[in-house]
Amino acid sequence: MQIKEFPRLGETLYTGVLPNGLVLHVLPKPGFRSRFAVFAANYGGAHRRFTLEGKAMDTPAGVAHYLEHKMFDLPDGDNALNLLSANGADPNAFTASNITCYYFQCTEKFEDNLRLLLHFVSTPYFTEETVQKERGIIAQEIRMGEDSPDSAVYYNLLRQLFASHPIRDRVAGTVESIAEITHETLYACHKVFYAPSNMCLCVEGDVDPERIEALVRELLPGEKAPVPQADFGPEEGLLPVEAVHREAMPVSAPQFLIGAKLRPEPGEAGLRQRIVALLVLRLLVGASSPFYTSLYAAGTLNRDFDYEADFSAGTGLVLLGGESEDPEAVLAALKDEIAKVCAAGFDPAAFERAKRASYGARLRGLEDFESVCVALATAQYEGFCPLDAPALLGELTRAECEAFVRESLRPEYFALSVIEPKKEG
């Protein structure tokens, strides 16, 4: 295994690629009782169209999420979730647009739990009856998501920004799309996407990297399968399809989300782009920015306000939103703030404070084993290592961040999604 030291962080990362193609990341934490493992497939809700060995394939929306629901079933009738819990572990799983992760955290019986994790994720067991039974459960989950204002304002915005990219559709699919999913569909997609060559295992805690590698070699298939290539459709421009969209739902106050697309950079340039985007958002709309403090003082914004830079399934986004009686005023204030930066740049003192705050936040994030391991798995398929972020953050200049504002945050790139209170009667 290759060893990479991060002296400023006090971390050492062991990385290896096994003969079957599996990527293994181990971050030893001597003396820590808690241990965490995530087994991730490069397969998410947006991976609906793909090619494998030159053959194009298309699947219904929601297969990746459906597969995650059914993977805990074992051929002997047991449920892996229950077995891990009985073993003292705290297990779970999730499906995003770009990845599916199965994970657990524990303080004891780590090796037993890791064996079970590797076993159930690599052992598909589906029947027509169990898949049919799960369909009703997932359909209910889909309907609950459709009734959620948070979900509605987000997916409305994605449909405003993207004309055809599959990220605009819900990860769980629709009631109609999941009706097309059979146990044969799940077996076929498991074989394609859950091959070790398309997966990554990340472990953090007081563990021996060589022992972890030995377990993986013992429990997983040795052959290397071909890797599927995602097809997200034609490249789209940066202008939104629809600038403003409103929908009425039973909410007490209007909810809004403002977003703009970015062109994601590959590899380490992509990591730098993410760091720049987050630093710029902190400067523009963070809790100590003139934008936020003035709108908060005026009652236009409240504490239910947040921002993020989201990169997933070949897309990049800047997002900010919350509650406001006047979402258009928020968007106008954002554009005014961007215009000021384009004209005069960022305040030097504010820029340095934001860099220090960002650095501190990243150091605090290293205490969360789950976020570190999931970040390692996700970044594996983006071509960079997230532990390089603090060092790259130190290199950023005001000029670089100001260029990002001028080039990527043009007024015409933004879209506004609003969920407003439904009028009675």
Whether 141 is catalytic:
no
Nearest C-alpha neighbor of 124 from the set 61, 24, 193, 172: 193
Catalytic residue among 53, 68, 129, 400: 68
- Give the DSSP letter of residue 24: E
Helix ranges, 249-386 (H)? 267-285, 290-297, 327-344, 348-365, 369-380
Q: Strands 100-106, 23-28: parallel, antiparallel or unpaired by DSSP?
A: unpaired
Q: What is the DSSP string of 162-193?
A: -SS-GGGS-TT--HHHHTT--HHHHHHHHHHH
Question: Reduced to 3 DSSP states, what percent helix, strand and coil does the chain have, rounded to the nearest 5?
Answer: 45, 20, 35
**What is the Cα gyration radius of the chain?**
23
**Residue located via tokens 């295992």:** 201
Number of other residues whose CB lies within 10 A of the CB of residue 214: 11
Decide if 106 contacts 35 (C-beta within 8 A): yes
- Give the DSSP letter of residue 246: E
**Residue located via tokens 């504010």:** 350
**CA angle centred on 299, ends 293 and 305, rounded to 5°:** 60
Cβ burial, residue 310 (10 Å; 0-12/13-18/19+): middle
Query: Position 271: which residue type?
Result: L
Decide if 347 contacts 418 (C-beta within 8 A): no
Rounded to a whole number of angstroms, the distance between the first and last alpha carbons of the chain is 66
Q: Which two tokens stand for residue 41?
A: 């497939």
**Residue located via tokens 């003035």:** 294
CA–CA distance, 25 with 9 (Å, rounded to integer): 17
Residue positions annotated with a catalytic role: 68
